[in-house]
Structure 1
Amino acid sequence: MIKLIVLDVDGCMTDGGIIYSNSAEETKKFNVKDGFAIVNWRKLGGELAIITGRKSKIVENRAAELGIKYLFQNVKDKKATLVKLLEDINISADEVAAIGDDLNDYNLLSYVGKSFTPNDGVDKVKEIVDCVLTRKGGDAAVREMIEIVLEENGQLEQFMELWI
């Protein structure tokens, strides 16, 4: 059973685009459907972590808004960060699902119990994940992933009952 979902940001929670204003302020676009699934995964008792290679106040704000407890930014070795987190919260790698889209996610995705990549993830990542999603990064790929995890956990009906 999956207890922890690990999210990459750029290319998974977003479409991978980074927009800078004239004053060098960065902006990102998140999908509300992903946020809905994340919040409701938490309501069902699931844990979440963001492990990302970049650092952004925008990501910090989004994690806080969604109630994501574990946020790791500017990470060079995502697998090592996850291994330490799992030790701290006493969860095994088999109880983890993760989504990533590029080579910096490769080792983490190879380590977890269930791995995902958006439809536009890089080919080398597509070759090793358990599931290539139908949606692209930033286009509710995280929502699709969470619904698959919920179904495999036997929790999809509970998820639906939160709203129907």
Structure 2
Amino acid sequence: MEDKSYKEYLKHINTFILDIDGVLTDGSVMVTTSGEMLRSMNIKDGYAIKTAIDKGFNICIISGGSNEGVRVRLNGLGVTDVFLGAHNKIEQLNTYLASKNVDLKNVLYMGDDLPDYPVMKLVGLPTCPQDAAPEIKAISKYVSHKNGGKGAVRDVIEQVLKVQDKWFDSFNAQYD
């Protein structure tokens, strides 16, 4: 359930932590004859991630999955903190936050399913895509109107950057 007061948290966010499957992807997997699993990621989510990095925000990926193709895509966007095969997400979260000196209250986490639940209970702004599991929706302070892999990440990043006046300013400077 969306809590309208979630907007009060947006101005304090400096770190986005995201799951992959069901958040940056729609959760579908295409399997090739060789057994390779292919995922589809949204270009608009990628643009928002790159923009956030360019504006000085921390972006971290914590996923139980281990597809190296995903790492290549995210590294190409400038995401250097990509933790795959992370089955203890709280441990990975704590290690990451300590390395960046980030407070939990400044973290927006987007997850979609039960492995994300423990981490989401800790962060300042737990969020999820529209098609997240009911248990995840129940603890989210914001439920995007977009599904996972269909712009949910863009939705939350854009909201944070707009509240902090960091979304459209680079374009205004280019075209003045």
After TM superposition, the score normalised by the length of structure 2 is 0.88
Count matched residues: 161
**For 1:108-145, what per-residue CA distance to the aligned partner results, in whole angstroms no more than 9, with x for missing partners?**
11111111100000000000011011000010110001
**Aligned pairs (5 A) from 1:6-155:** 6-152=17-163, 154-155=164-165
Separation in 2, partners of 1:25, 1:83 = 31
Mapped to 2, the partners of 1:104 and 1:126 lie a distance apart of: 13
CA contact (8 A) 2:23 2:129 kept: yes
In 2, distance between residues paired with 1:128 and 1:161? 33
CA RMSD of aligned residues (A): 1.0
Determine helix, strand or coil for the equivalent of 2:171. Answer: coil
Structure of larger gyration radius: 2
Shift of 1:151: 3.3
Q: Secondary structure at the match of 2:17?
A: strand
Task: Give the C-alpha shift of residue 7 in structure 1.
Answer: 0.8
Question: Where does residue 160 of structure 1 map in the other structure?
Answer: 168
Q: Percent identity, aligned pairs only?
A: 32
DSSP-derived class of the 2:46 partner: helix
Q: What stretches of structure 1 of length at least 5 have no aligned partner?
A: none
Query: Partners in 2 of 1:36 and 1:56 — Cα distance?
Result: 21
CA distance in 2, matches of 1:142, 1:20: 25
**Unaligned ranges ≥5, structure 2:** 1-11
Which deviates further from its counterpart, 19-28 or 95-104? 19-28
